[in-house]
Structure 1
Amino acid sequence: MGTTFFFGDLSINQLSLKIKHTKMVYKTSCLLLPLALVFLDFIITSSLAKPIPTTFINVLTYGAKPDGSTDSTKAFLAAWQVACASVNPTTITVPKGRFLVGNLVFQGKKCTDTPISIRIAGSLIAPEDYRIVASSEQWIWFESVTDVSIYGGILDAQGSSLWNCKNNGGPNYLVLVIKYEI
């Protein structure tokens, strides 16, 4: 049996204190083992998991020219179609240079549910004749897309010729540079 100590009105039984202490150690060690196993499982599975490969598409491969005068619209749309069909996350790369592009409509309705990134190191240039772009009211349009990211680059809509026309009493064309619609 245990020894009982009396401190005024307070009594402590040594045996019951020891049993309570033992139970607490037991409960703590029961929690540590499952946590350690979960942590070990996480370490093993994360080190064995293969990363999902990213597909890289360069617009030059599809005929884009970084000279600022050759129309690269079809090349950009072809690169988009390949990215849309990919089952892996895809990055469309636009290298340094000036790429002349007309109206671009990037349709997402037929895309797979994988992320698409567009990394622009150069510039996208609109045609100098603003009427070419004004006919559709937007220059670059992302329609029904999800999980698309655009990084870097310059979008040069060649607005000076449009402003000259407007300031000299010409028709008031309103062109949206980028339109993003989900």
Structure 2
Amino acid sequence: MTFSVISPPTCIMKILGFIMMMMITGSVFSEAGVYNVLNYGATSYNKGDSSNAFLKAWNLACAESGKPTILIPEKWTFLVYPVNFQGPCKAKNVVFMLSGTIVAPELPSVWKGRDTSKWLIFGGVNGLIVDGYGVIDGRGKGWWDQSCKHNTWKGCTSLAPTAISFHGCNDSTVKNIHITNSAQVHMYLGRLRDFGVDNIKIQAPWWTPNTDGIHIQASSNLGISNSVIGSGDDCISVGDYTSNVWISKISCGPGHGISIGSLGKDSNFVQVSGIHVSDSYFDRTTNGARIKTWQVGRGYAQDITFKNLQFYKVRNPIIIDQNYCDVRNDCKEQVTGVKIRNVTYSTLYGTSDTDIAINLKCSKSVPCSEIWMDNIHLANAVTGKQVTASCYNAYGREFDVVPGHCLLKSAPTTSGL
């Protein structure tokens, strides 16, 4: 029998060639604890839906102890229909490594018979880590074109899918990913505790309806930092039953600014406290630091700080609207309202795109109190024009404020609850 001997250089080249081939096809060695969606039937987006493959990889990883990783490999784009990655999982930490791209179905009809508010959902997964420099593309144009915000015909859409939602995922983090063109809200954070968002990017055209960057609801102990957000609605919005949120180093624009609210729409008892926004930049946004509450609400929004913020051609750099109602610009004064108190604005500067740079519209029945302003310097974006401050039923103190002063100094005695 004759044996042929392969010289070491040739052998090495063949092994390297095999590895390169596996990398190109997306197949990888079955490393323990790594679940590559390609190994479970995922395919290129133009060849069909990969939802089942993603769920197979998820279910196997969720059932494993240790630190399992679901891998969405780079240089691949996957079409994924609405899917729910459900916990609890066995492992203390589960990693969802997004290196490639996930795209949504382009046609809204795909959601027929499904929950039209959701696309990618993570529910009840504690210790979740979503990481990687990949992309989540909501391909929302089909939804935007039929939105009731832009259309009045019967059958227009008022509720469209959020690109990625987290429900009840405590002690978890999302970092480094890019979310673009969601049908509505890009990221929803609900019923969370000890949750962090860092170094993400969110993008959608300025005219897209209700495409908030991040919306927070019924959560506590959250941090959002080092991120770039531009969309057709709020860059970040804080909803009811939320406390202890730190938002810092955000580049916001286009969009409607960073908003606390709207709160109290359903006549509920509002409970929002400990919201801190700092070291952020607003570029040509509709609003900067905003608090918005409905007159029919009750309860409180308190212990709020806006610090070290820069505005560039922002329409309403500092705004409180405590008289929000269904009839825009024609809200009759009501005796109810959400009490806004202990709000600090410190070291805010830049330019306003309107003549009123500070606009505090508070309720006569439930006025704003303990408003503190210091080191605020705002100018008109139009050279030579002045800006003014407008305050109604707002009580507090101000020091070194341009424009100013407009706060009332002695707050009336009222519970406001």
TMscore range, shorter length: 0.5 to 0.7
1:77 partnered with 2:84: no
Q: Find the counterpart in structure 2 of residue 101 from structure 1.
A: 80
Q: Find the counterpart in structure 1 of residue 126 from structure 2.
A: 146
Q: Find the counterpart in structure 2 of residue 178 from structure 1.
A: 164
Deviation for aligned residue 1:180: 0.5
1:115 partnered with 2:101: no
On the 8 A contact 1:116/1:148 being kept in 2, the answer is yes
1:55 partnered with 2:33: yes
SS of 1:71's equivalent in the other structure is coil
CA distance in 2 between counterparts of 1:114 and 1:78 reads 20
CA distance in 2 between counterparts of 1:123 and 1:171 reads 27
Q: 1:64 to 1:121 in 2, by over 3 A?
A: same
Q: 1:56 to 1:113 in 2, by over 3 A?
A: closer
Greater shift in the superposed pair: 153-162 or 166-175: 166-175
Matching residue's letter, 1:99: F
Q: Find the counterpart in structure 1 of residue 295 from structure 2.
A: none
Q: Find the counterpart in structure 1 of residue 65 from structure 2.
A: 87
Deviation for aligned residue 1:115: 1.1
Q: Find the counterpart in structure 2 of residue 127 from structure 1.
A: 105
Identity of aligned residues (%): 31
1:65 partnered with 2:46: no
Deviation for aligned residue 1:132: 2.4
Give deviations 1:2-61, integer Å, cap 9, x for gaps: xxxxxxxxxxxxxxxxxxxxxxxxxxxxxxxxxxxxxxxxxxxxxxxxxxx961110000
Structure 1 unaligned residues grouped into runs of 5+: 1-52
- Which of the two has greater strand per residue? 2
SS of 1:150's equivalent in the other structure is strand
Matching residue's letter, 1:146: N
Moved over 6 A (4+): none
CA distance in 1 between counterparts of 2:83 and 2:106 reads 16
Matching residue's letter, 2:125: V
On the 8 A contact 1:162/1:173 being kept in 2, the answer is no
Q: Find the counterpart in structure 2 of residue 159 from structure 1.
A: 140
Q: 1:116 to 1:57 in 2, by over 3 A?
A: same
CA distance in 2 between counterparts of 1:155 and 1:68 reads 16
On the 8 A contact 1:140/1:179 being kept in 2, the answer is yes
Deviation for aligned residue 1:173: 2.9
RMSD: 1.9
CA distance in 1 between counterparts of 2:65 and 2:76 reads 29
Aligned residue pairs total: 129
Matching residue's letter, 2:164: I
Normalized against structure 2, the TM-score is what?
0.29
CA distance in 1 between counterparts of 2:134 and 2:52 reads 19
Matching residue's letter, 2:135: I
CA distance in 2 between counterparts of 1:118 and 1:66 reads 19
Normalized against structure 1, the TM-score is what?
0.65
Greater shift in the superposed pair: 113-122 or 137-146: 113-122
Deviation for aligned residue 1:99: 0.4
CA distance in 1 between counterparts of 2:118 and 2:86 reads 14
Deviation for aligned residue 1:92: 1.0
On the 8 A contact 2:66/2:91 being kept in 1, the answer is no
Deviation for aligned residue 1:103: 0.9
CA distance in 2 between counterparts of 1:104 and 1:85 reads 18
SS of 2:65's equivalent in the other structure is coil
On the 8 A contact 2:108/2:143 being kept in 1, the answer is yes
On the 8 A contact 1:56/1:92 being kept in 2, the answer is yes
- Which of the two has greater helix per residue? 1
CA distance in 1 between counterparts of 2:101 and 2:158 reads 26
Matching residue's letter, 1:156: D
Q: 1:78 to 1:130 in 2, by over 3 A?
A: same
On the 8 A contact 1:69/1:99 being kept in 2, the answer is no
Structure 2 unaligned residues grouped into runs of 5+: 1-30, 169-417
On the 8 A contact 1:90/1:114 being kept in 2, the answer is no
SS of 2:164's equivalent in the other structure is strand
CA distance in 1 between counterparts of 2:102 and 2:84 reads 14
